[in-house]
Amino acid sequence: MLDFLAENNLCGQAILRIVSCGNAIIAELLRLSEFIPAVFRLKDRADQQKYGDIIFDFSYFKGPELWESKLDCKPELQDLDEEFRENNIEIVTRFYLAFQSVHKYIVDLNRYLDDLNEGVYIQQTLETVLLNEDGKQLLCEALYLYGVMLLVIDQKIEGEVRERMLVSYYRYSAARSSADSNMDDICKLLRSTGYSSQPGAKRPPNYPESYFQRVPINESFISMVIGRLRSDDIYNQVSAYPLPEHRSTALANQAAMLYVILYFEPSILHTHQAKMREIVDKYFPDNWVISIYMGITVNLVDAWEPYKAAKTALNNTLDLSNVREQASRYATVSERVHAQVQQFLKEGYLREEMVLDNIPKLLNCLRDCNVAIRWLMLHTADSENLQAWFREISKQILSLNYDDSTAAGRKTVQLIQALEEVQEFHQLESNLQVCQFLADTRKFLHQMIRTINIKEEVLITMQIVGDLSFAWQLIDSFTSIMQESIRVNPSMVTKLRATFLKLASALDLPLLRINQANSPDLLSVSQYYSGELVSYVRKVLQIIPESMFTSLLKIIKLQTHDIIEVPTRLDKDKLRDYAQLGPRYEVAKLTHAISIFTEGILMMKTTLVGIIKPSELMPKLKELGATMDGFHRSFEYIQDYVNIYGLKIWQEEVSRIINYNVEQECNNFLRTKMTCHIDQLNTWYDMKTHQEVTSSRLFSEIQTTLGTFGLNGLDRLLCFMIVKELQNFLSMFQKIILRDRTVQDTLKTLMNAVSPLKSIVANSNKIYFSAIAKTQKIWTAYLEAIMKVGQMQILRQQIANELNYSCRFDSKHLAAALENLNKALLADIEAHYQDPSLPYPKEDNTLLYEITAYLEAAGIHNPLNKIYITTKRLPYFPIVNFLFLIAQLPKLQYNKNLGMVCRKPTDPVDWPPLVLGLLTLLKQFHSRYTEQFLALIGQFICSTVEQCTSQKIPEIPADVVGALLFLEDYVRYTKLPRRVAEAHVPNFIFDEFRTVL
């Protein structure tokens, strides 16, 4: 007969795919339950007030038009709704797809049952599938997994949260209008049940049976599945547990399935006393707390309280004498196996020969240990005695294991006989070396015979007996005990490895069917459970780096403050001074303490230093530099003792810390109205005292102290701050210019007066200064925004220079390679735009993104050429910026040594940030805006000069000098050809201007 799970058996493969999908769905639900946006819970008053009008439960469906009309009446609610949609649509969609997959699962299962009944699968009916061993397992699992999905959803994702998410998806997603959308069915299945997982919450009536009956399922199928689970050992587990007292453990997985499936036929729980008595006698005679799926536990005392037949049947189990008997029995077993395990795990006891000769004894011990662990962990989860027992037993028991070996038994016996005969007949006794060799060979062959007696069933039995999936969640309560054991005895780390390996075996349960079905979900589901396991292991072993870095901090203090570095040449009379035996002995002692944690540290990643407060920046940086150097040398010193890559950990961790904390360092020298930057000296000065605030030496100091990653982190932070500032500027532009009727009228009048831009403006002084006077109120905020951007751009330029210098000095080959690669890429891109048939990086190609990160880290970039934000067309934008510039010119004067400087400290304007801020702002918009802006400046210069000539004023006005200097600096900063400026201003004016300078 065709194997039920054969690839060409359509009936078997169909149900296998369903079960595989079920395990994947549960993993996705568990994964998503950890990422529920808090706003959907509407717990605190602030969220209720802010989002209460845009987040709806299912009451929304009674009148969606009414709710939407309320939103339409309030623009602020529309903005909030749109922002909420953008922030949450991705996660809401993922939740919806998970909910949809639950509904699709039960629809697929019902369709499969219908196909069985209708004879779609030749020679297969529901009855014949249940007669097949694999078939009955899969059918039972299919129904059980659906029940687990519903319970997981209700336990992990509250009913109100589900409703709000589904309504949000309905409102925000275009899929709601799809013809094949099954939103209604999903909503009916997953509407709130009233259940709450909060302690003390009241259980809703008829829960969970009414929940389980929302999608009808074939009643005869449910009845037949329950019948199989009542009567059969569907997984043949009893053979792995031959002792009668272990029977409930052997059938524990089947018991969990039966517990869940009984809710699909609640009449058994209510009224079928004989059936419930049979179920309890078989599955729950000595236990009443069960694990239903990956550590999700249920206490039958509470779960079966509303069901008369189930509660009555459970009374025998809960009888005080029975409870006392079970507790006493497992206490006795734990003491007995404790002694056995301690004996087994003595150094040198578990030799291969001993294992081979005592397999039955070891298996019996394994069974007793694991049965006791299961019962005690489930029934005394909060018991301190259990925790103490677990600490003593689990660290040792779980490492009992041995490798199987393959050999041909009969041939081995023949070989042994042949070796005996060759020694006897060929009289080799006189050659002691040969005799010894033959004796050793026979010994190994005898060992092979004993090894061959280890059947695969032994390993299977060990796997079954050692199942720890029931403790997937309970194990967390033992974390503090494990950590204390490691703190007291660091060598305990190596023994805990067995515990983690045993816990890893729990992953087999949800992955078995997925793997059998060759499902693409295997990777996703295994990553979820593996990630959970790794997180737990890290949580337990967190104590290792904590202890290690406590010692390392003492070493750092000694290295930094006490131990003097030995020079390359040393006079012998000073040898005693440099010996420093006391501090060096202390370092050696601490090093030994750290080296004990070698195996554990490889699993860890932690923060090494804290926050540096930004006061008196340069002295603090020098002090920090000494401390960081101590850290660096200590890592370099300690890495060989703990077998880690010290430099790699140092760079990764310090980089992470820098990125997190650098903002406080940055804000110290961003004072918009207090400093001025002298471009020739590359230095910032206080406007009032004329004292130096900071210079390029600052960034050299940061480079020395924090390294390239520190300086690069500061650069990235400034980049984000520029983005934020430009976004704020756009909002301000809309508010103070585009929504002010007076300002708009002034701008329209000025536009009419200066059109066309190539003409000379008659009576220019009056027209320009009239416009400036009418718009005076808007320039204060405008100036502050422009200056902030300009200051940050200067800082970014200085950082880029320092990074580039450092890269060329320390990594000249890297610098050369990056520059050449950058030039080659730019040449290819330019060639593509000239000839589109030539290659160009595709959208999914990350080359340009990755090379940008390298170029910025090496300082091979120009911050002034960056596009920081995306922009839309803004009315009046060129003329507003032109008017802003000429409004600032009277506040400035030309100095032959320093260039443009502020006239009055009380009305501060800093020239370089002003120029760079305007340049950066214009760079964010279409180039035609820049062209118009430059044309307006050119027109202003020509018109003012024309008016001075007609009035026979011999000197060039100060404002014209400022405007010409702006054009000169604009060309210099952007590295554009001079003809860009000369296109708007005649050459003779520039020549006259240069003679004045």
Give pLDDT tens digits for 488-505.
Answer: 776 677 677 778 878 887
332 part of a folded domain: yes
950 with 818: CB under 8 angstroms?
no
- Residues 249 and 969: their CA atoms lie apart, in Å, by 84
Highest mean pLDDT among 233-237, 444-448, 719-723: 233-237
Average pLDDT over residues 818-842: 87
431 part of a folded domain: no
Angle between helices 219-231 and 273-283 (to 10 degrees): 40
Considering the domain architecture, whether residues 370 and 486 belong to the same structural domain is answered as no
- Which of 486-500, 531-545, 651-665 is predicted with the least confidence, judged by mean pLDDT? 651-665
Average pLDDT over residues 155-172: 94
Instruction: Please determine, for residue 866, whether its predicted confidence score (pLDDT) is greater than 50.
Output: yes
DSSP letter, residue 219: H
Query: Higher model confidence: residue 383 or residue 308?
Result: 308
**Position 259 confidence tier, pLDDT thresholds 50, 70, 90:** very high
208 with 253: CB under 8 angstroms?
no
Average pLDDT over residues 386-411: 41
Mean pLDDT estimate for the chain: 82
- Residues 959 and 966: their CA atoms lie apart, in Å, by 10
Average pLDDT over residues 291-298: 91
DSSP letter, residue 560: I
Considering the domain architecture, whether residues 712 and 801 belong to the same structural domain is answered as yes
SS3 of 744, please? helix
Report residue 761: phi and psi, to 5°.
Answer: -85, 120
Considering the domain architecture, whether residues 808 and 701 belong to the same structural domain is answered as yes
**Position 439 confidence tier, pLDDT thresholds 50, 70, 90:** confident
Instruction: Please determine, for residue 538, whether its predicted confidence score (pLDDT) is greater than 50.
Output: yes
- Which of 53-62, 508-517, 659-668, 861-870 is predicted with the least confidence, judged by mean pLDDT? 659-668
- Could you read off the pLDDT of 779-814 as tens digits, one per residue? 888 888 899 999 899 888 888 988 998 888 888 899
425 part of a folded domain: no
Considering the domain architecture, whether residues 356 and 482 belong to the same structural domain is answered as no
Average pLDDT over residues 91-95: 94
Enumerate the β-bridge partners of residue 894.
900
296 part of a folded domain: yes
Q: Tell which phi-psi region holds residue 975, choosing left (phi > 0), alpha (psi between -120 and 50) or beta.
A: left
- Could you read off the pLDDT of 877-921 as tens digits, one per residue? 999 999 999 888 888 888 887 788 887 777 778 888 999 999 999
Considering the domain architecture, whether residues 152 and 262 belong to the same structural domain is answered as no
Share of the chain above pLDDT 90, in %: 32
Instruction: Please determine, for residue 94, whether its predicted confidence score (pLDDT) is greater than 90.
Output: yes
Instruction: Please determine, for residue 669, whether its predicted confidence score (pLDDT) is greater than 50.
Output: no
Q: Which of 469, 492, 511 is the last residue of a domain?
A: 469
- Which of 14-18, 199-203, 232-236 is predicted with the least confidence, judged by mean pLDDT? 199-203
| Number of structural domains the chain divides into | 5
Considering the domain architecture, whether residues 465 and 477 belong to the same structural domain is answered as no
Count the alpha carbons within 13 Å of 263 in the hemisphere toward its beta carbon.
Answer: 24
Considering the domain architecture, whether residues 463 and 542 belong to the same structural domain is answered as no
510 with 26: CB under 8 angstroms?
yes
What is the pairing mode between strands 675-678 and 683-686? Answer: antiparallel
Considering the domain architecture, whether residues 38 and 172 belong to the same structural domain is answered as yes
Enumerate the β-bridge partners of residue 735.
none
CA distances from 909 to 38, 868, 900, 970 (A): 46, 24, 10, 17
Instruction: Please determine, for residue 395, whether its predicted confidence score (pLDDT) is greater than 50.
Output: no
673 part of a folded domain: no
Q: Residue by residue, what is the 3-state secondary structure of 230-291?
A: HHCCCCCCHHHCCCHHHHHHHCHHHHHHHHHHHHHCHHHHHHCHHHHHHHHHHHCCCCCEEE
- Residues 289 and 299: their CA atoms lie apart, in Å, by 4
- Residues 131 and 128: their CA atoms lie apart, in Å, by 5
684 with 699: CB under 8 angstroms?
no
Considering the domain architecture, whether residues 594 and 632 belong to the same structural domain is answered as no
396 part of a folded domain: no
- Residues 526 and 512: their CA atoms lie apart, in Å, by 11
Residue range of the domain that includes 479: 472-565+578-609
Considering the domain architecture, whether residues 786 and 924 belong to the same structural domain is answered as yes
Considering the domain architecture, whether residues 657 and 602 belong to the same structural domain is answered as no
**Position 989 confidence tier, pLDDT thresholds 50, 70, 90:** confident
Q: Residue by residue, what is the 3-state secondary structure of 519-539?
A: CCHHHHHHHHHHHHHHHHHHH
Look up residue 642 and give its two tokens: 């703990």
**Position 415 confidence tier, pLDDT thresholds 50, 70, 90:** low
Residue 9 CB contacts under 8 Å (≥ 6 apart), including other chains: 2, 3
**Position 410 confidence tier, pLDDT thresholds 50, 70, 90:** low
**Position 264 confidence tier, pLDDT thresholds 50, 70, 90:** very high
351 part of a folded domain: yes
- Residues 841 and 473: their CA atoms lie apart, in Å, by 48
- Could you read off the pLDDT of 210-236 as tens digits, one per residue? 999 999 999 999 999 999 999 999 999
pTM: 0.58
Average pLDDT over residues 192-210: 89
Average pLDDT over residues 613-618: 45
- Which of 326-335, 567-576, 716-725 is predicted with the least confidence, judged by mean pLDDT? 567-576
Find the helix or strand (DSSP H, E) in which 834 lies. Answer: helix 812-834
- Which of 29-43, 385-399, 694-708, 821-835 is predicted with the least confidence, judged by mean pLDDT? 385-399
Residue 398 CB contacts under 8 Å (≥ 6 apart), including other chains: 466, 498, 499, 501, 502
What pLDDT is stored for residue 369 in this prediction? Answer: 93
What pLDDT is stored for residue 174 in this prediction? Answer: 64
- Residues 282 and 290: their CA atoms lie apart, in Å, by 14
**Position 644 confidence tier, pLDDT thresholds 50, 70, 90:** low
What pLDDT is stored for residue 411 in this prediction? Answer: 57
Look up residue 378 and give its two tokens: 């489930």
The distance from CA 166 to its chain's CA centroid, rounded to whole angstroms, is: 25
**Position 332 confidence tier, pLDDT thresholds 50, 70, 90:** very high
Residue positions counted in the chain:
997
| Amino acid at residue number 474 | L
Highest mean pLDDT among 290-294, 519-523, 763-767, 840-844: 290-294
Average pLDDT over residues 14-40: 95
What pLDDT is stored for residue 303 in this prediction? Answer: 93
224 part of a folded domain: no
Average pLDDT over residues 69-85: 87
Look up residue 691 and give its two tokens: 């004292």
Considering the domain architecture, whether residues 260 and 341 belong to the same structural domain is answered as yes
Average pLDDT over residues 765-791: 88
676 with 664: CB under 8 angstroms?
no
847 with 841: CB under 8 angstroms?
yes
Looking up tokens 């601490």, which residue turns up? 590
**Position 187 confidence tier, pLDDT thresholds 50, 70, 90:** very high
**Position 169 confidence tier, pLDDT thresholds 50, 70, 90:** very high
